[in-house]
Amino acid sequence: MMQLIRQELYKTFHRPRTYISFAIIAAIAVIIEVAMIADGRTFVDFALSGVTEQFDLQGNIINGYFVTYIILQSLIVNIPLLVALVAGDAIAGEAGLGTLRLLLTKPVARWQLVISKFAGSLIYTLALLLWLAIIALGLSLFLFGEGDMLNLKSDEVVLLLKDDILWRYLAAFGFAALAMTSVAALAVLLSVFSDNGIGPIISTMGIILFFTIITNLGLPSFELVKPYLLTTHMIGWKGFFSDPVPYDAMRDSALVLCAYTIVFVAAAIIVFNRKDIKS
Amino acid sequence: MMLGLIRPDSGEVRIKGHQFTNANRHLLRHIGAIIERPDLYGYLSGWDNLRMLANLSGKDINSSRLTQVLELVGLRGREKDKVRGYSQGMKQRLGIAIALVHDPDLLILDEPTNGLDPQGIAEMRKLITSLSRDHGKTVMVSSHLLYEIEQVASRMLIIHKGKKITEGTVSELMDPDDTLFDLQLDMDAGLEQLLKESTWITSVEAMQPGSVSCRMHPDRMPEFSAWLVAAGAGIREIRSSHSLEAYFISLTHDAAHSAGTI
Amino acid sequence: MNPFIRCIFSFIVLLLPFSVEAQQLSADDLFLKLRSRLEGVRDYVADVNMTIDVSFMRVPALKGKLYFKHPDKLKLERNGGIAILPRKSVSLTLNNLIPSGRATVIDAGQETVNGIRARIIKVIPETDESDIVLTRIWVDEHRLLALRTETTTRESGTMKMDLRFGKFAHLALPDQITFFVDVKELKLPKGVTMDYDAGGTDMVKKKAAKKSNKGTIRINYLSYKVNTGLSDKIFADPVKE
C-alpha cells in the first residue's frame, strides 16, 4: 500500500497540472496583498461602513491577520475546485489514459487502489493548504505585521486581540484540512464513475457550488436542508474567529465532515469493486 | 475476464489450478499482459513507467532486471525519455517489457504487432517464439493477422461473436488433404490436355496459362511434381498455404449459418 | 439708635448675603464654577480599560492609553492595536458638553444619581455656533462635579453619559465614564459574508439581543497624568486621513 501511495504522489507531483493549483493560490493571495497595500483604506471604509457610521475605528486595522482572513474568504470557493482538480482526475484520468487497466492487471486489490488514490489526493490537499498558510498568513504577517483583527460577520463585528489570534488560524487550517478531505473524497467517488478526467472535476465543482449557494442564500425554505449539507459544515473553520467560539456546533460539523468522507470513500470502493473496466 | 477487469456473467477463471477471484488477486503475478494497446504514463519516462509497474507486480524486481528487459525489447538507451515522445513501435515494445519484467509464466498479448513496421513485426514474431521455446513461457496471442498466427502458434482458439467455435493445434484444425498449392509453370496446350485426362485432375482447382492451383496432401506433392516434370512442364514455383484465412472465413460463415444469424 | 443694636443690625445685615451664598448658588454661577473647574484640565494621559456592550459588537475589554487635549482632542492608543470609540466621541469630551461662551442656565430640579443627590441645571448656549442645542447637567454641588450629562445636538442626536468619581475627584476627573449610545442594527447579506451558521441556541440568543438598540461603552480610568503639555502630533491619526 505504501508503494501505491508513493507512486501516486510521484505521479501527481510529476505532472505540470498539479503545480497550476499552487500557482493559482499564490496569484490570488499576492494580488489581494498588493491591493491592500495599494488601497486597503478604501476597502476597509467600504466594508466597515456599517460600523464606522456609529463608531470611530483607530489603529492598525489592515494588519497581517486581517488580510489573511480576506484572502481565505476569497478562496472559499476556489480551494475545493483545486482539490477536485487532482482528486477528480485520480481514477478517471487513469481510465482515460488507459493505465487504469494496466494497474488492475497487477496483483493489487481494487480497494487498495481507491484508498491509495484517496491518500494521494489527501497529501496533495494538505500540501496545498500548507502552501496557502505560508503564502497567505506568513506573507501577510511579514508585509502587514500583527494587530487586532476585525471580523465582519453578517450581523456583528468581532474584535480579536492580537495575542489571541494565531492559535485560531492554526486551528482553522486544521479544520479546513478536514473539510477539504471530504471534498477530495467526493471527487474520488465521482472519479470512479467516469473514464475521463474532466467529468468528475467539473461535477465535483458543480456540486460544491450548487450547495454553497443553498447554504448561503438564506432563504427560509433552505433552512430545513442546511444542516445536512456538506457545504454548511465546510465553513466551520470560520467559527474559530468568533467570540465565543461555538465549539459544540463545530464539533458537530467536524463529525458530519468525517461521516461524509467515510461514506464517499466507502461508496467509491464498493462501486469500483463491482465495475467492469472496459477502457 | 481472465485478468479480472470484467466480471463474468457465469463460469469461472482458474489460474494455475486456483480459482481466480477478487480475493485471489495475487495470482496475477503469474501473468503479464498487454491489452489492445500499451497504456502508459506519457508524462513519465519509459524507465519510470517500467519501474512503477514492476514494483506493483507482486515480485521484487531490481534495476538490473529492468535493464535486462529493456535490452530484450530493444529500448535500451531511450528509457529516460518521456513516453509521449515514443513512436508507436517503441510504446509497443515498452508494453512488452512491462508484461515481461516480472517473469510471468503466462503472457497475454492482445494484438502485439499493432502499429509495428514490417521489421518490428518480424522481431515480435521472433521474440514470441523465443519466449515460448527458449524460456518455457506460455504465450497467448490474440490477433487478426492470421498469417502471423500460422507461423507462430502451436495451438489455436477461434472465437466468433463471443463464442468459442473451435480449438486445437494448427495442423489438427486444418485438413492436410486440403492443402492448397499454387504452381507457376510453363505448360503448353498438350500438357494441359494431358493433365485434364489424368487422375490428378480431381485435385486441380483451377488452371490458367502459366499456373495451376490444386488441393492435396503435401505427401503427394513430390509425386505430382515429378509427374509434371516428366510430362514436360517447366516448374518455376510451388507455393503452399494452409490458408488459415480461408479456413477461418469458412468456419465463421458456417457458424453464422448454424446459428441462423445470416 | 442704640449703638449696640446698630452693631448687631449691621452684623446681621452683613451676615445675610453670606448665608444666602452658602445656601444656594444661582444656576448661572454653579455652571460657571463647574466650567472653570473643568477648564483647569488642559490635557491628560490616562491608563484606561474600556468595555463595549453593544448588541452587534463582540469586543473584549480593551486596555490602552487615553490621550486628551483641550478642547476636543481624544485618542485611544493601544500599541497599534485597534481602538473603538463612539463616533461622536470628539464632541463627547466633557468640555464640549459644557458649552463655552454665554449660555442661559436654568434650574431643573433635583435627582439622585447613583446614590448621590444632584442638582439638575439646563444649559442653553446663546450662540448658534456650537452644535449643542441643550445640555442637562446633574451636578454634585457639594463636590462640584458633573455626575451625568445629557446633551442634545443639532447634527448628532442626543448623547448621555454618567460619571463616577473616586480617587481623582480632586482633579475633577472621573474614574469611570459610561456612555449610553443608540445603535442601529448591523446587517450584511449572508451571501456576501458566507458566515458559519452555528445554528440552534445561538440564533435564539441573537434574536433576543437584537431587540435592544441601546448600548453602553464604559471607560475605567486607572491613572491620570494631567497637564503634561501634550503635543498635537499625538492625535494625528493615519486612519482618519
pLDDT string in tens for chain B (262-residue length): 667 677 667 777 777 767 776 666 777 778 888 877 778 888 888 888 888 888 888 777 888 888 888 888 878 888 888 888 888 878 888 888 888 888 888 888 888 777 778 887 887 788 888 888 887 888 888 887 777 777 777 788 777 777 777 777 766 666 667 777 888 888 888 888 888 888 888 888 888 888 888 888 888 888 888 988 888 888 898 887 666 666 677 666 665 555 444 3
Determine which of A30-39, A266-275, B80-89 has the lowest per-residue pLDDT on average. B80-89
What is the rounded distance in angstroms from the CA atom of residue A203 to the CA atom of residue A88? 9
Residue A279, pLDDT above cutoff 80: no
Contact indicator for C118, C106 with CB cutoff of 8 Å: no
Q: Is the minimum CB–CB distance between C83 and chain A shorter than 8 Å? A: yes
Q: Are residues B216 and B118 in the same domain?
A: no
Nearest to B144 by CA among B240, B244, B239: B244
pTM attached to this predicted model? 0.77
Query: Could you tell me the pLDDT band of residue A179, with boundaries at 50, 70 and 90?
Result: very high
Cα gap B246→B173, rounded to integer Å: 12
Are residues C194 and A239, on separate chains, in Cβ contact within 8 Å?
Answer: no
Number of structural domains in chain B: 2
More confident residue, A70 or C75: A70
Which CATH number is C22-185+214-229's, of 2.50.20.10, 3.10.580.10, 3.40.50.261, 1.10.1040.10?
2.50.20.10
Question: Residue C87 pLDDT > 60, yes or no?
Answer: yes
SS (H, E, C) B195-206: HHHCHHHHHEEE
- Residue numbers in A near C84 (CB within 8 A): 55-58, 159
Model-level ipTM above the cut of 0.85: no
pLDDT over threshold 90, residue A127: yes
Candidates C62, C81, C190; nearest CB to A154: C190
Give the span between the Cα atoms of C199 and A70, in whole angstroms.
23
C110 has a pLDDT exceeding 60: yes
C-alpha cell at B167: 480449438
Which domain, by its residues, includes B200?
176-241
pLDDT tens, residue by residue, C155-205 = 767 778 888 888 888 888 888 988 887 777 777 776 677 777 765 544 555
Q: What is the pLDDT of residue A229?
A: 86
A279 and B CB contact within 8 Å: no
CA gap A132, A149 in Å, rounded: 19
Element (H, E) at A118: helix A110-132
Q: The domain spanning residue B195 has which CATH number? A: 3.30.70
- Burial classification of residue B205, based on how many CB atoms lie within 10 Å of its CB (0-12 exposed, 13-18 middle, 19 or more buried): exposed
pLDDT of residue C153: 77
Residue A27 has pLDDT above 50, yes or no: yes
Q: Map out the domains of chain C as residue ranges.
A: 22-185+214-229
Mutation target vs A (from B41, B49, B50, B55; most A CBs, 10 A cutoff): B41
Q: Which residue has the higher pLDDT, B3 or A142?
A: A142
Instruction: Tell me what pLDDT residue C121 has.
Output: 87
Window A:91-120, CB contacts with B under 8 Å: 97-110
Residue B185 within any structural domain of the chain: yes
Chain C nearest CA to A127, separation (Å):
25
Q: Which residues pair with C181 in a beta bridge?
A: C215
Residues B147 and B188 in one domain: no
The reply to whether B41 and B115 lie within a common domain is yes
Cell matching residue A149: 483583527
Q: How far is CA C16 from CA C7, C12, C30, C184, in A?
A: 14, 6, 20, 55
The answer to whether C96 and C146 have CB atoms below 8 angstroms apart is no
A262 has a pLDDT exceeding 90? yes
- The terminus-to-terminus CA distance of chain B in angstroms comes to 28
8 Å CB contact of C81 and A243: no
Task: Return the pLDDT at C241.
Answer: 32
In a domain, B219, yes or no: yes
Contacts of A169 (CB under 8 A, 6+ apart): A65, A68, A133, A137, A240
Q: Which residues, in sequence order, are bridge partners of residue C124?
A: C104
Determine, yes or no, domain membership for B60: yes
Question: pLDDT tens, A206-260?
Answer: 999 999 888 888 788 888 888 888 888 888 888 899 888 888 888 999 999 999 9
Is the separation of the CB atoms in A158 and A241 below 8 Å? yes
The pLDDT of residue A77: 82
B160 occurs within a structural domain: no
Q: Please check whether residues B194 and B147 belong to one and the same domain.
A: no
The residue type found at B204 is V
